[in-house]
A and B are shown apart, each in its own frame.
Chain A
Amino acid sequence: MKEKIDLVQVLVELYKMTSICLPEDVKEKIKQARENENSVLAKKVMESIEQNIEIAEKKQLPLCEDTGIPVFFIEIPKSFNHEEITERILKATEIATEKNYLRPNAVDSFTQKNSGNCIGKGIPTIYFEQKERTGIKFNLMLKGGGSENIGKTYSLPNTELNAGRDLDGIKKCVLDAVVKAQGLGCPPNIISIAVGGSKDVIAFESKKQLMEKLDKENENKEIREFERDLLEKINSLGIGPMGLQGKTTAFSVKTKFLARHPASFFVEVAFCCWADRRHSLEWKNGEAKYE
């Protein structure tokens, strides 16, 4: 019989894995970019990134010192208690910080005091979604501050960009955000767009969408075409790895179209850095399965 392990321990392990090791699909994109770039500096940047991934795995150290804000998207069966789960996540966060898998990243915005354990109001961020399922699924993302800072919300129409309320207008917003971002948010980036009528919903949906695998295609053919064209345009800007010029400014573009109020047309552009740290944990009957 397998020894039953505690959920806290399992969550610490999820933190460790997410902080140290990138998902395979991200590593593959990094490799492709390194092969594809031909300028000295862009190649150098991509080579350093690949070396860093190896060193972090070998020495079991956080691959980026900014372990970001931990964001959990949890799929939970109806019978489970949210508060109990939250308590265990907080305990795991404290332990993961002690073990240096996380940097203490929670600063009180009124007193400016760092809590020292990566816990504060809103940190870690935890979203629950009740589902018809038996085990709990924890989807964790460590979202760095650099890429969070360059995200933008647009309201259409936008006269400055000559952007109207259509697909072309949305593209102009995204390109504007990418040009303004330059190398600040550690490109190559993953760009997640949500279009809709309320700011809280598009902010949430654009972030949640970043949990998806990079090659997961949109089911709608026209949206796929929209994303493909936008990715091509973004990469034609030539900003490149770390903003030092090159062919790969973004690995992937993902878009979610939501309903909007007739008066409102918001476009949310969220960025993730190349260090796209996300992993999942399926927790069922005291057993853990990581992905």
Chain B
Amino acid sequence: MNNIKLKIPLKEEKIRELNAGDLVELSGTIFMARDRVHKLLTEKIDEKFQQKLSNGAIYHCGPIAKKEGKEWKILSAGPTTSIRMEAFESEVIEKYGIRAVIGKGGMKEKTLEALQKFGAVYLLAVGGTAALLAEKIIKVKNVYFLEEFGIPEALWEIEVKDFPLIVSMDSKGNSLHKEVLENSEKKFRELIK
């Protein structure tokens, strides 16, 4: 299976063609953001970030980062569990024009609906493969809210090249996570009968 190449800015048309199960490689400027940044972005819509995030991607990640002179370097950066962002993500997709949400573990109905409505996908990065993924981060362009939130929870603007991901929720209403959940629940009910 060939990996599909994706580039930032993401085009809605191309995103809507993706199917759950596709392997993709993403290149361009993306944003690492998790719990507290999601809360912040939805409490007050920020025009500066609306411009920056439009047709872009958010990566649920709290990296290990090192400062060398004036430059930051990302040493280790795997995904964090996305479900904690479920309450915020649909609004982030809508208000900031996000076309790809990257994380692990998948998300629920509210996000799946937003993916369909606004033309976006959920891309799974393999949890724990932080050294492998950090190799694909070629530059840190900026970091915001570092003082308030600390390294793991700041908003990081980074450039990635051929970032390896799996489409696990597409914009057609398909979710591998929903499928696996339903199948395993069915098996579970048989087992505990």
Measuring CB to CB, which residues of chain A are less than 8 angstroms from any residue of chain B?
Answer: 40-41, 44-45, 48-49, 51-52, 55-56, 59, 61-67, 100, 103-105, 107, 112-114, 116, 144-146, 149, 161-163, 172, 175-176, 179, 182-186, 233, 236-240, 242-245, 273-275
Q: How far is the CA of A274 from the CA of B64 in the complex (A)?
A: 19
Cβ B130 vs Cβ A64 within 8 A: yes
Residues of A within 8 A of B62 (CB): 65-66, 103
B138 CB to nearest A CB, Å: 15
Contacts of B78 in A (CB 8 A): 64-66
Given A114-B152, A179-B184, A243-B106: A65 touches B124 (CB 8 Å cut-off)? no
Q: Which residue of chain A has its CB nearest to the CB of B184?
A: A237
Task: A52-B132, A184-B105, A242-B124 given; name 18 further pairs at CB < 8 Å.
Answer: A44-B23, A45-B126, A51-B132, A52-B126, A55-B135, A59-B131, A64-B78, A65-B78, A100-B64, A100-B75, A114-B149, A116-B150, A179-B181, A179-B188, A183-B177, A243-B106, A244-B166, A244-B180
Q: Mark B65-103, 1 if CB is under 8 A from A, else 0.
A: 010000000011110110100000000000000000000
Residues of A within 8 A of B63 (CB): 65, 103
Bound complex: CA A107 to CA B130 (Å): 22
Most chain-A CB neighbours within 10 Å: which of B63, B131, B176? Answer: B131
Complex CA–CA separation, A173 to B105 (angstroms): 21
Q: Is the CB of B183 within 8 A of A273?
A: no
Among all A-B residue pairs, the 3 with the closest Cβ atoms: A114-B150, A52-B129, A56-B131
Taking each of B83, B128, B184, B192, which has the highest tally of chain A beta carbons within 10 Å of its own beta carbon? B128
Interface of A is mostly: loop
Interface residue total, chain B, C-beta cutoff 8 A:
50
CB contacts (< 8 Å) of B75 on chain A: these are 61-62, 100
**Which residue of the partner chain, among B21, B134, B152, B176, contacts A104 with CB atoms under 8 Å?**
B152
CB-CB < 8 A to B133: which residues of A?
Answer: 52
CB within 8 Å: A-B pair count: 168
| A45-B126, A146-B127, A238-B180 as given contacts; A179 in contact with B185, CB under 8 Å | yes
Report whether B64 and A62 are in contact in the complex, using a CB–CB cutoff of 8 Å: yes
Contact A107 B150 (CB under 8 A): yes
Contacts of B130 in A (CB 8 A): 52, 56, 61-66
Q: A114-B152, A239-B180, A243-B180 are in contact. Are A64 and B128 (CB under 8 A)?
A: yes
Indicate whether A186 sits within 8 Å of B128 (C-beta atoms), given known contacts A41-B21, A61-B75.
yes
In chain B, residues 135-176, which have Cβ atoms closer than 8 Å to a Cβ of chain A? 135, 149-153, 164, 166, 168, 176
Q: In the complex, are the beta carbons of A244 and B168 less than 8 A apart?
A: yes
Q: Tell me the complex Cα distance, A256–B128, Å.
A: 28
CA distance A153 to B138 in the complex (A): 43
- Can you list 24 contacts pairing A with B, beta carbon distance less than 8 Å? A48-B126, A48-B164, A49-B128, A49-B129, A51-B129, A52-B128, A55-B135, A56-B130, A64-B78, A64-B127, A64-B129, A65-B78, A114-B151, A114-B153, A146-B105, A149-B81, A162-B192, A175-B191, A179-B184, A179-B185, A182-B180, A236-B187, A244-B168, A275-B128
Compute how far the CA of A100 lies from the CA of B104 in the bound complex, rounded to whole angstroms. 23
Whether B114 is near chain A, meaning CB under 8 Å from some CB there, is no
Contact B104 A44 (CB under 8 A): no
In the docked arrangement, what's the CA distance between A103 and B62, Å? 9
Q: A63 contacts B188, CB within 8 Å?
A: no
